[in-house]
Copies of this chain bind each other. A is one copy, B any other.
Amino acid sequence: MLKPPEHQVAGHRAQDGQLGPLVDGCGIFYKPLQGDGRGDAEVAFYTSLFSHPAVPPHILSFFPGFHGTLVLPASDASGPRPHLALDDLLAGLRSPSLVDLKIGGRTWPPDCPEDYFQKCIVKDRESTSVALGFRVSGVQIQDPAGTDAFWRPSRAAVRRYMVEDVRRVLRQFVSANPPSPDQKPDCALASAVYGGTDGVLAQLMKLKAWFEEQALFHFYSASVLLVYEKDAAVAAAGQQAGKSSGVRVKLVDFAHVMEGQGVIDHNFLGGLCSLIKFMSDVLNDP
């Protein structure tokens, strides 16, 4: 029984007859291939990534598992269409809080068509990408009161985020008090989610070390996805000796990955370092 994912904060959505991803409820996420070459590019990337001898296993674990492609009825009723079969990164989670962060001050590759460059540079300048090296593509935070409700700003609101909004959202993401114009985020879960030996910061540092060296792939318009469940984080925050919050740190969206040609991805790396600094600031001044 395929259906649209319950929790999705960015990208095309399979609802109201639109084309979008589907999940099977058993751990697989089916992403329809875009017809303009982007879908093929993403398949080629996954194939190359998982067969490349120079990519270490601890780096592969940052990517969704790849299970090939499968022709399925598309969610927009346009008929059969090939889909990427990937691990469902939210499998097993009832009420995930998640944030999608598009990394890089620049979302366009060096040798792209002029119309694509123009489209991207406008968005990069209007959003926080240029100033900050990354932007929020979407976010949902579980209601701190423990209900099944989520705080999820509209796409239009997220698109208008300035640097201070991003700072606030990254604090709100690990707070136990509800978002409010009158109250600062308390960052009660910061050390459980961002800190610790397997928290977000430690995982991003591993990714950074790889990006300082790897000259295989350049990731344009790709995102870091952070996912955790409040219950597990609250339990971890209550422990003395750093119980894991189970936070998941994944890279997603590879329709615009290019070959590195012996040069590091300085654009992604710079944005990643900026994100790391933002999270360190939350941890050091909660």
Contacts and interface: CB of A to CB of B under 8 A. Distances in A.
Interface stretch (A1-9, A83-91, A226-234, A263-271): A263-271
B264 A105 contact: no
B263 A163 contact: yes
Interface string A120-138: 0100010000111100000
Given A131-B110, A212-B277, A266 B163 contact: no
A264 B274 contact: yes
A110 B125 contact: yes
Interface in A233-286: 261-264, 266-267, 269-271, 273-274, 276-277, 281
Contacts of A276: 212
A215 interface: yes
Contact of A270 (B125, B131, B132, B266): B266
B263 A131 contact: yes
A125 B117 CA distance: 11
A266 B133 contact: yes
B215 A133 contact: no
Contact of A105 (B105, B212, B261, B281): B105
Contact of A163 (B121, B132, B261): B261
A116 to B, nearest CB: 13
A144 B54 CA distance: 38
A171 to B, nearest CB: 13
A215 B274 CA distance: 10
A277 B212 CA distance: 7
A106 interface: yes
A277 B131 contact: no
A24 interface: no
A104 to B, nearest CB: 9
A105, A213, A270, A274 — which one has the most chain B CB atoms within 10 A of its CB?
A: A270
Contact of A263 (B215, B261, B274): B274
Contacts of A281: 262
A264 B262 CA distance: 26
Contacts of A125: 110
A163 B218 CA distance: 15
A133 B163 CA distance: 23
B273 A212 contact: yes
A130 B270 CA distance: 13
Contacts of A267: 105, 133, 270
A277 B262 CA distance: 9
Interface string A90-128: 000000000000000110001000000000010001000
A216 to B, nearest CB: 12
7 contacts: A132-B266, A133-B263, A163-B261, A163-B263, A269-B270, A269-B273, A270-B271
